Amino acid sequence: MLLENKIAVVTGNPYGIGRACAELLAHEGARVICIDDSTTGWESAANVAEKLPHHLAEVSDAKALAPVVAEIGKELERIDILVNLAGRATKKRFEETDEATWNTMIARNLTAAFLCSQQFLPLLKKSAGASIINHASIDGFLGNPSLAAYSAGKGGVLPLTHVMAHDLGQYGIRVNSISTGAIRDGAARASDDSRVRVTPSRRTGTPLDVARVVLFLASELSSYVNGANIVVDGGRTAITQGCYED
C-alpha cells in the first residue's frame, strides 16, 4: 500500500471528489479524518474496515475550525497529508453577482485552503515529509461564464500553492495543486454534452480520476514534485479555451 501508516485529513464535501479521495487514501493504508460543514455523507462512506471518522466545521471560518484542529491534535501526534478540497460554486452572471455571493465563494474556494493549511501546520511539521494538495480548477486560469466569484477564488489557489511550496519547503512539506475540468459526481447535466465536445478524451471525468492524482501527490511517487499544478481535464484546456455555456 502506498500510504501505509500515513495520517491524512481531507476537507470538503462528503460526496463526489471528497469522498472518492478519502476512500482511496484509506484503501491505500492511510488513516483518514474528514472535515466539512455537513457530516451526513461521511456516515455512509466506508473505510477499508470501518466508517471514516468525520468532524463538523465550516473550514472557511477560523474560529469554527480551531476547536476541530485542537481536537484532532489531541488525538494525533502528526499529520502527513492534507487535502484541501472544500469548494462551492454559485452560478451568476457578473453583473448579478452580489457582494455576499462574492465573499462566500472566495472564502470557501480560497480562504479555506489557507486557513486549514495554516492551522494544521504544527501537526504537518511533525511529519517526516508531509504533502498538502490544494484543489483548484481550470476555471481558475481560464474563467467560466457566469462563475466570476468561483473562478476568482480558484484562481487564487494557484499562486497560494506556489508561495506555500516555497515557504514550507524548509520543513520538508510539499505543496501542490490539482486543477479539475468537468467532473461528473452525480446525475447527468444538460451541460455535459457541451463539455464533452471540447474534451479530447470525449467524456466527463469521474471523482476517481481526480482521487488517483491526489493519491500520486500524497505518496512518495511524487517525492520531487513540489509547487506544481496538475490539470485533470481530459485534455480540454490543451486545445480550447475551456469555456462552455449551458
Residue 15 is among the residues annotated as catalytic for this protein:
no
> In sequence order, which residues have a C-beta less than 8 Å from that of residue 34 and are 6 or more positions away?
9, 10, 11, 14, 18, 22, 42, 45, 52, 53, 54, 55
User: Cβ(209)–Cβ(159) under 8 Å?
Assistant: no
**Euclidean distance between the first and the last CA atom of the chain, given in angstroms as a whole number:** 42
**Of 150, 171, 224, 244, which residue is the catalytic one?**
150
DSSP for the chain reads -TTTT-EEEEES-SSHHHHHHHHHHHHTT-EEEEEES--TGGGG-B-SSSBPPEEE--TT-HHHHHHHHHHHHHH-S--SEEEE-------B-GGG--HHHHHHHHIIIIIHHHHHHHHHHHHHHTSSS-EEEEEEETHHHH--TTBHHHHHHHHHHHHHHHHHHHHHGGGT-EEEEEEE--B--SS--TTHHHHHHT-TTSS-B-HHHHHHHHHHHHSGGGTT--S-EEEESTTHHHHS------
Q: Pairing mode, if any, of strands 131-137 and 81-84?
A: parallel
Active site residues: 150
